[in-house]
């Protein structure tokens, strides 16, 4: 079922090319504040359907059992709308399995495990729960494992494991198709008119699914989301990787939307999630009305060739989240974790419009709201490209809002790449990305705060109310001076105010008043929770009267269950919840969030803990060597847990890497113990765990 506003199912996602040109390619003679993005207009209803028909069992042996099949495909072929297919959890079924178009009956067909009661509703599944799931294995020979025929509709799959079993699997679950839509053979890139949308699969929900490859096998894609009005929720998608080519946990290319992707674990080497990447086969089609909420998006360090955990196969690694052709995208409450320079430069979040094969002059990226997420352990934070070099007249990239996010450990030296927070790239075409609003972010990066690449201007930029490390260059552009030179050259008329640039030089930004340039992070943030210190001048001093930087209470609330998956997937926006209505744009709204219990965070380097327990006296003291910025190891993890227990470090950062936040926690501890409270690492040992600091920690921890 689709929740509509005014337009019909098949016309809503199709954006007329002429309208796109007007909206995205506005004349830029007058520069002003960024135009706000639109929120999704249509949403997928994920309410569990009522079963009105019969129950069909799928068993190894159906002797003496009515409405029973030994073949899952036969059960699907025999089912009508309203029926429920229950598969014995101990069955292993070889694909391909095809979801068929049904015209008899009404309602949904539910296909579920016989043990689905052990998989709680609205809670993400984990690999350990595969004992409750029937298994569908890939057929090999480059074939998809679970797929849809044209017009298949109203299927909900619950509690099924779908696994790769060969080294040449294409897609594990393919919802929709690009082939045979126009009835013309011999033209792979034939573009159809919108009448073919009536052939698309629609109303399909994957719920509590375990979809995965194997650690040593190639598989291109976990889910191909190319249908209409579909969702992936409460699921676990892992080990999706290829050598020398792109792979995605979820990819949407050929369908118009709407889509909901919520409360999932997503693991993919190329891009964990991507929309676009090939040309759609329908005129003016852009995947639209996309909700991406409460997911844990992760790349295992065992895929990184220079990591100690590397498993020996060099999968092609690119990005965590990429949009090449998408409109009205809402991204909130997610944790994006781990991205490094490999197949590309390690950009975590990428908005880069692409007319991939030259048949999509209407392709665009726009109306993206990226709010209240955590992005960490990556080479670069976000990259936004204005136009496709190969299709300079396409609508481009516009109306992007990036607000109230934490960007942690955006670190060039550690993860490769430039270590930038934001890269705005115009390519060789004009203009660059437009109507970009970047507000209320808290950022720990080593490179430039904002870098402008390409000669073109980037109109209507708002960059305000952010807490950032000035990094290597601050605000910088190609062949332009830092600060005033770059802003005046590439962002004429930009709003750049109420930012805290730690370590920056005020004189470089003299044309833009109202910004701050403290020398130390300790005077800005509470290093226990990363909120602005209530005693600082930045408290309630933003352009909207709130604290500068991210409101970490909101960020932590919305991401609290993104790793564990114990979160109800909500369905609607609540107009009563408004976070940071910008003084330059209209307010935007967040989805309803449930009451969230206190959470224990799980990092990829540790197991869940509720309280750090100091090791017994009989154990050896773990801090033997001097610890300082840039080191990694179990002793660093031990130190971080010691600091967390005493509120000198946020509980999410027992990562095993000694970064700037760990150094800040060490300095806070040193001051509290009167060991040292000023200077630098070299001059006084401030921020280094040397002999005196180790002895203080030893005595306090009972060794």
Grade residue 637 by pLDDT with cuts at 50, 70 and 90.
confident
Per-residue pLDDT, 185: 55
Is the pLDDT score of 336 beyond 90?
A: yes
Is the pLDDT score of 467 beyond 80?
A: yes
Per-residue pLDDT, 187: 65
Is the pLDDT score of 37 beyond 50?
A: yes
pLDDT digits (tens, 9 = 90+) for 289-304: 999 999 999 999 999 9
What pTM did the predictor assign? Answer: 0.79
Grade residue 587 by pLDDT with cuts at 50, 70 and 90.
very low
What is the average pLDDT across 673-699? 86
Is the pLDDT score of 329 beyond 70?
A: yes
Per-residue pLDDT, 359: 82
CA torsion, ordered 373, 375, 376, 377, to nearest 10 deg:
160
Determine the Cα–Cα distance for residues 400 and 331; give it in Å rounded to an integer.
11
Is the pLDDT score of 581 beyond 80?
A: no
pLDDT digits (tens, 9 = 90+) for 509-542: 999 999 999 999 999 999 889 999 999 999 999 9
Q: Which residues pair with 204 in a beta bridge?
A: 155, 230
pLDDT digits (tens, 9 = 90+) for 120-154: 999 999 999 999 999 999 998 889 999 999 999 99
State the greatest distance between any 2 C-alpha atoms of the chain, in Å, as a whole number.
Answer: 86
Alpha helices for 504-656 (secondary structure H)? 552-559, 634-645
Grade residue 274 by pLDDT with cuts at 50, 70 and 90.
very high
Per-residue pLDDT, 190: 77
Per-residue pLDDT, 582: 28
Determine the Cα–Cα distance for residues 377 and 373; give it in Å rounded to an integer.
14
Is the pLDDT score of 627 beyond 90?
A: no
Per-residue pLDDT, 605: 25
Q: 61 versus 359: which is more confidently predicted?
A: 61
Per-residue pLDDT, 57: 98
pLDDT digits (tens, 9 = 90+) for 157-179: 999 999 998 887 789 999 997 65
Q: What is the mean pLDDT of the chain?
A: 84
Grade residue 618 by pLDDT with cuts at 50, 70 and 90.
very low
pLDDT digits (tens, 9 = 90+) for 478-508: 999 999 999 999 999 899 999 999 999 999 9
Is the pLDDT score of 17 beyond 60?
A: no
CB-based burial, 154-164: b 16+ in 10 Å, e otherwise: bbbbbbbbbbb
Per-residue pLDDT, 24: 42
Strands 406-410 and 442-445: parallel
Per-residue pLDDT, 438: 97
Q: 185 versus 160: which is more confidently predicted?
A: 160
Determine the Cα–Cα distance for residues 110 and 316; give it in Å rounded to an integer.
36
Residue partners of 179: CB distance under 8 A and separation at least 6: none
């Amino acid at each position: 079922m689709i929740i509509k506003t005014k337009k019909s199912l098949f016309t809503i996602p199709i954006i007329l090319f002429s309208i796109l040109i007007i909206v995205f390619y506005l004349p830029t003679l007058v520069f002003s504040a960024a135009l706000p993005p639109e929120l999704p207009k249509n949403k997928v209803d994920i309410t569990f359907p009522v079963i009105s028909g019969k129950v069909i069992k799928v068993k190894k042996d159906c002797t003496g059992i009515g409405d029973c099949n030994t073949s899952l495909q036969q059960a699907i072929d025999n089912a009508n709308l309203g029926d429920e297919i229950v598969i014995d959890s101990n069955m292993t079924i070889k694909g391909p399995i095809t979801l068929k178009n049904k015209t008899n009956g009404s309602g949904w067909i539910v296909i579920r495990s016989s043990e689905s009661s052990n998989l709680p509703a609205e809670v993400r599944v984990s690999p350990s729960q595969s004992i409750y799931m029937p298994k569908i294995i890939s057929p090999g020979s480059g074939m998809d494992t679970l797929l849809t025929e044209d017009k298949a509709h109203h299927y909900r799959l619950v509690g099924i494991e779908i696994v790769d079993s060969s080294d040449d699997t294409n897609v594990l679950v393919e919802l929709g198709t690009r082939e045979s839509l126009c009835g013309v053979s011999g033209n792979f890139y034939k573009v159809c008119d919108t009448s073919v949308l009536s052939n698309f699969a629609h109303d399909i929900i994957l719920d509590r699914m375990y979809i995965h490859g194997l650690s040593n096998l190639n598989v291109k894609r976990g889910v191909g989301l190319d249908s209409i009005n579909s969702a992936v929720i409460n699921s676990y998608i892992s080990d999706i990787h290829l050598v020398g080519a792109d792979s995605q946990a979820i990819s949407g290319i050929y369908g118009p939307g709407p889509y909901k992707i919520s409360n999932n674990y997503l693991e993919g080497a190329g891009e964990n999630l991507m929309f676009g990447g090939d040309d759609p086969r329908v005129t003016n089609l852009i995947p639209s009305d996309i909700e991406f909420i409460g997911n844990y998006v992760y790349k295992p360090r065992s895929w990184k060739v220079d990591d100690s955990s590397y498993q020996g196969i060099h999968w092609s690694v690119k990005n965590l989240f990429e949009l090449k052709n998408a409109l009205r995208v809402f991204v909130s409450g997610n944790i994006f974790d781990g991205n490094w320079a490999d197949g590309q430069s390690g950009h975590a979040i990428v908005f880069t419009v692409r007319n991939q094969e030259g048949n999509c002059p209407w392709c665009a990226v726009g109306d993206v709201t990226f709010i209240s997420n955590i992005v960490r352990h990556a080479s670069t934070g976000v990259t936004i490209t204005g136009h496709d070099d190969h299709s300079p007249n396409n609508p481009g990239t516009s109306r992007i809002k990036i607000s109230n996010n934490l960007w942690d450990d955006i670190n060039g030296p550690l993860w490769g790449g430039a270590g930038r927070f934001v890269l705005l790239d115009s390519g060789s075409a004009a203009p660059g990305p437009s109507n970009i609003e970047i507000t209320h972010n808290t950022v720990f990066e080593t490179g430039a705060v904002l870098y402008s690449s390409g000669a073109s201007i980037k109109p209507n930029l708002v960059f305000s109310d952010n807490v950032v490390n000035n990094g290597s260059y601050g605000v910088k552009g190609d062949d332009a001076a830092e600060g005033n030179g770059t802003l005046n050259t590439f962002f004429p008329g930009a709003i750049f105010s109420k930012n805290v640039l730690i370590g920056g030089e005020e004189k470089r930004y003299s044309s833009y008043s109202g910004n701050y340039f403290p020398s130390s992070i300790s005077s800005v943030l509470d290093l226990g929770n990363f909120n602005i210190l209530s005693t600082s001048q930045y408290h309630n001093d933003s352009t909207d009267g709130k604290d500068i930087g991210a409101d970490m209470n909101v960020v932590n609330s919305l991401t609290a269950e993104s790793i564990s998956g114990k979160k109800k997937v909500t369905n609607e926006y609540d107009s009563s919840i408004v976070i940071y209505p910008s003084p330059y744009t209209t307010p935007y709204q967040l989805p309803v969030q449930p009451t969230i219990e206190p959470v224990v965070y799980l990092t990829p380097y540790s197991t869940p803990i509720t309280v750090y327990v100091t090791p017994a006296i009989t154990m050896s003291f773990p801090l033997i060597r001097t610890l300082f910025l840039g080191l990694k190891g179990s002793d660093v993890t031990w130190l971080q847990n010691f600091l967390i227990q005493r509120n000198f470090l946020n509980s999410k950062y027992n990562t095993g890497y000694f970064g700037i936040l760990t150094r800040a926690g060490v300095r806070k501890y040193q001051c509290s113990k009167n060991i040292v409270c000023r200077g630098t690492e070299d001059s006084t040992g401030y921020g280094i765990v040397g002999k005196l600091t180790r002895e203080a920690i030893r005595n306090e921890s009972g060794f």
